[in-house]
Amino acid sequence: MVDVDDPASERDRRPWVQALVAVLVFGGIAGVLWGQGKLADSTEEGPATCSSDDHKPGRHVSAARLCTALNRSDLPTLLGTPQEQAETAYGSESSFKDADGKKTSSPQAEVSLKTYSVKLWASDDLRVGEFSGLFSSDEESKTILGHPAVLYSGQTIGLEINLGDNKIGTGPGGIARHLLVARDAKDGGGSFEVAVWRQDDVPPDDTALLRVAERVLPTVPGWT
């Protein structure tokens, strides 16, 4: 077990923490490319609903549970677009290994509306304090419902389709706003992350992100 308060241990953890930051930022924006229709129901008969296929007994929190927590009936209102509804909703499981070969799971869920997309991750081990100084230059410390948090920006990836040449590629997209929040008030281990971005590449509203986080996170297993 790594002592996160020991300076040498902190140096050892830094490279894989940095790698995880890259995974979190990219994961939050890659959903723009992959999420359309994945594990989601059609909106022709109403708002999209979450798939429960990935619910695994024994997991502290599954992607399906995250999706259920995020895909609230009042999510459009929290985002400031009450006239909209969820068009896609899905959960997925991913993982990474640290330098010691320890495998850490990172379940995630995403819900997309006409204007906004929202993504939610869960980590069983990582503390918010470990990420200090690793995000963008606009990183800002926050307190969410008494829990330490960090607010920062990320770049989304846009999908570029050239019908003439029949090619599909990627390019810079808009800005995503991320909020990383500790699971408990003492930042003793484990965290959740919520990210929002707009489909039109306009910078998202931080107030909407904070409303979503404050309403959704207390309903996720593991929040204390």
Other CB atoms within a 10 A radius of the CB of residue 220 amount to 18
What pLDDT, on the 0 to 100 scale, is given for residue 126?
82
Q: Is residue 211 part of a domain?
A: yes
Helix (H) or strand (E) holding 209: helix 206-216
Residue 123 located in a structural domain = yes
Question: Does residue 112 belong to any structural domain of this protein?
Answer: yes
pLDDT, the chain, mean = 76
- List the structure tokens of 185: 């008030």
Instruction: Please indicate, yes or no, if residue 2 is contained in any of the structural domains.
Output: no
Contact 195, 210 (CB under 8 A): no
Does some domain include residue 1?
no
Residue type, position 196, single letter: V
Q: Is residue 224 part of a domain?
A: no
pTM higher than 0.85 for the full model?
no
Domain-located, residue 167: yes
> Into how many domains does the chain fold?
1
**Tens of pLDDT along 26-79?**
444 344 333 333 333 444 567 899 975 454 544 478 999 999 999 999 999 999
CB 122 within 8 A of CB 76: no
Which pLDDT band holds residue 18 (cuts at 50, 70, 90)?
A: very low
DSSP code for 54 = T
In DSSP notation, 141-173 reads: EEEETTEEEEEEEEEEEEEEEETTTTEEEEEEE
Question: Which residue segment(s) compose the domain that 172 sits in?
Answer: 7-219
